[in-house]
Structure formats: C-alpha cells, structure tokens
C-alpha cells in the first residue's frame, strides 16, 4: 500500500510503499476515502520519521481480535496520526473513531474529525461567559472552529483578526461580529476601540505569528486570558467531535466552504508543499483516495458540495 510519510529526519515527506498493516486486538483496519492536510502536519514533518495526516474518513476493511465483525463496512471518521495512507489501523473503541450517520458526507465529516473539535477545545479552555469579548487571532480551519464555538455556542462577542479576505468572509459567515485586518489597522488599538477601552476578556491564538501574540497581550483587559489552540490527544475530543457532527447534521454549520483545493492522493506531495509554502488563498486542501468497490451508497462524496480544481 502507499502512505505519505517521512522516510528519515531532514528529508521532505513522500509517498512511500509500506506493508499493509494488520489490525491488532481491539483495532480496526480502515481504508481511507478522504483526508485533510493541516498546517500541523508541517510541524510534524520537521520532527522524527512518522506517518502524516490526522483527519480522515474511510470504511472499515477488517477487524482485529475482540472487535465485533459488524464494524466491517462502516463509514467512520478518524482522528489520530498517520492517516495519509491508503490503509491504517485505529482503535475500535475510544474518542478517535466514530461511526458516521448517512446524513453527513465524507467532506463534512472530515472537519468533525479534527479542525472543528480543535477550535472548540480552545474556546472551551478559554471559557468566555455569554456576552464576553473574545478575540480570535487567525481564521484558518481551527480559528474558524474557535469562532463558531465562542460565538454561536457560548454567546460571546467575537472579534476575528485575519489579513486574508477569503478567511475574513468565512469568519463573518461563521459568527464573528467584527473582523480586524491587521494589514491595514493597528490591531491593539482597534481592539481597545471595540471594547470601549477596557480590552478583550479573552484571546484565542490560532496562529503562531509573533505580531498576533503582541497584539493579543496589548489588547487584553487586566483580567483577560490568552488561550492557544493546539492539537490534543484524540481521547480528549470525543464530546467535541460529537458536537461538531450534531451541528453539521442539523444544518447549523457547513464546514465544506473552508475547503479551497482538492487533490487526488497521487498529488498529495504537491498539496503538502503548497500548504507549507502558505500559498495565498489556500486554507484546507482535501485529499481524495480511490473508493473501495464495496463503498456505501450514503452521501459520502467530497465533491457533492462543490468542485474545486487547483
């Protein structure tokens, strides 16, 4: 089988031939149908050799000892590392794997398997009370998840900080009350203006830009708090994953509009390189895998929302 991974430290990732994994006790073997590439994969690629990708959707191909055979054939969303591969193992029980309802497409489910729960977790950790002012720095997929959670789920007033126009529009679509463009405005001054000079109650960092960190510190109230969005262990995200699926299934959030590019798996290296280079206009690239012959007739196609060809 093929997997996108690091051969050794210091070398760029590539599509490599790997043995087909066999599910161990308590595990399932998943055949991937679609996956997302995340900026976090770039940080992983700078470390030790490993498989890349942590947001995927697929179909259970086989089960290991102790797992009910009825798992075979189920569509599942999976969080965890090493998912940019044609086949991978995953624990059958735990928060990192969830069966998908027929009402949710693969494309929608991809965001519930990583980006949205990560943003939700940052908002939960930040803990803004209803009516509080929350500044979310960065409106990529995770930042948008934090915007949704802080504004729509917690009732806070959300100020988004984002220089790219496409992401600014998405922030407003997903619940931001105001967007600050740091390329044209002094972010700290604008935050103070919007909060009547008091400063923001909370700041959520979904970007590593040093200027954003300085603006966050300068724009906080005396009792304000800064929270950093970060990847968390899959076992900590089960409730948030379920919450994301609920919001999507009820039609309250359509995360597929975050997708800007689609690539077949044989072009995954190109997609990774373009995202790592911070190509303008690229937010989330989806990687499409060949579908298994026994795939479900459920609405699982990525392209059933929009067709994007880079």
Question: Count of CB atoms within 10 A of residue 175's CB?
Answer: 19
Please say whether the beta carbons of 270 and 263 come within 8 A: yes
**DSSP string of 237-269, one letter each residue:** -HHHHHHHHHHHHTTS--GGGGEEEEEEGGGHH
pLDDT in tens, 157-204: 999 999 999 999 999 999 999 999 999 999 999 999 999 999 999 999
Summarize the confidence of residues 78-84 as an average pLDDT. 78
For residue 128, pLDDT over 90 is answered with yes
Structure confidence at residue 11 (pLDDT): 73
Smallest CA-to-CA distance from 150 within 129, 180, 181, 170 is with: 129
Question: Count of CB atoms within 10 A of residue 154's CB?
Answer: 21
pLDDT band at 82 (very low <50, low <70, confident <90, very high): low
More confident of the two residues 276 and 126: 126
Structure confidence at residue 310 (pLDDT): 39
pLDDT in tens, 250-269: 888 899 999 999 999 999 99
Phi-psi region of 34 (alpha: psi -120 to 50; beta: other; left: phi over 0): beta
Structure confidence at residue 39 (pLDDT): 66
For residue 47, pLDDT over 60 is answered with no
Report CA torsion sign: 173, 176, 177, 179: negative
pLDDT band at 233 (very low <50, low <70, confident <90, very high): low
Instruction: Provide the edge-to-edge strand list for the sheet that holds 157-161.
Output: 178-180, 157-161, 133-137, 200-205, 220-228
The fraction of the chain above a pLDDT of 70, given in percent, is 85
Rg (CA), the chain: 20
Structure confidence at residue 137 (pLDDT): 98
Prediction pTM value:
0.85
Structure confidence at residue 38 (pLDDT): 77
Task: For residues 310 and 287, give the distance between their C-alpha atoms in angstroms, rounded to a whole number.
Answer: 12
Host H or E run for residue 214: helix 210-219
Summarize the confidence of residues 118-131 as an average pLDDT. 92
**DSSP string of 139-190, one letter each residue:** -SHHHHHHHHIIIIIT-PEEEEE-S-HHHHHHHHHTT-SEEE-TTTS-HHHH
Structure confidence at residue 50 (pLDDT): 54
Most confident of 28-42, 231-245, 290-304: 28-42
Structure confidence at residue 216 (pLDDT): 96
**DSSP string of 91-148, one letter each residue:** ESSSTTEEEPPTTS-HHHHHHHTTHHHHHHHHHHHH-PPTT-EEEEE--SHHHHHHHH
Classify residue 48 by its DSSP letter.
S
Structure confidence at residue 178 (pLDDT): 98
Question: Count of CB atoms within 10 A of residue 47's CB?
Answer: 9
- Measured CA to CA in angstroms, residue 74 lies from 17, 284, 294, 306 at distances of 26, 26, 11, 25
What does the mean pLDDT of the chain come to?
86
Place of tokens 């939960």: 124
For residue 43, pLDDT over 80 is answered with no
Structure confidence at residue 238 (pLDDT): 64
Task: For residues 198 and 201, give the distance between their C-alpha atoms in angstroms, rounded to a whole number.
Answer: 9
């Amino acid at each position: 089988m093929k997997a996108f991974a690091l051969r050794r430290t210091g070398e760029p990732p590539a599509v490599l031939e790997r043995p087909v994994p066999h599910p161990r006790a308590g595990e399932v073997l998943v055949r991937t149908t679609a996956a997302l590439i995340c900026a976090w994969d770039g940080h992983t690629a700078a470390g030790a050799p490993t498989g890349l990708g942590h947001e995927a959707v697929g179909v259970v191909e086989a089960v290991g000892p102790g797992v009910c055979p009825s798992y075979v054939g189920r569509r599942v969303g999976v969080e965890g590392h090493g998912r940019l591969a044609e086949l991978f193992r995953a624990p059958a029980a735990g928060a990192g794997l969830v069966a998908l309802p027929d009402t949710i497409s693969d494309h929608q489910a991809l965001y519930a398997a990583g980006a949205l729960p990560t943003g939700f977790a940052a908002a939960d950790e930040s803990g803004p009370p209803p009516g509080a002012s929350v500044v979310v720095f960065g409106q990529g997929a995770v930042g948008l998840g934090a915007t949704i959670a802080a504004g729509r789920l917690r009732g806070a007033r959300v100020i988004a900080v984002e220089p790219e126009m496409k992401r600014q529009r998405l922030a407003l679509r997903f619940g931001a009350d105001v967007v600050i463009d740091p390329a044209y405005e002094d972010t700290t001054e604008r935050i103070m203006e919007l909060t009547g000079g008091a400063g923001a109650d909370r700041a959520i960092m979904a970007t590593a830009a040093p200027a954003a960190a300085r603006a966050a510190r300068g724009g906080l109230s005396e009792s304000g708090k800064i929270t950093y969005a970060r990847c968390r262990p899959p076992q900590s995200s089960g409730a948030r994953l379920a919450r994301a699926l609920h919001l999507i299934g009820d039609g309250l959030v359509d995360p597929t509009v975050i997708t800007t590019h689609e690539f077949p798996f044989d072009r995954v290296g190109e997609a990774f390189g373009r995202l790592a280079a911070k190509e303008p206009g690229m937010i989330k690239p989806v990687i499409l895998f060949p579908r298994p012959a026994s795939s479900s007739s459920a609405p699982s196609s990525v392209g059933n929302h929009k067709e994007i060809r880079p």
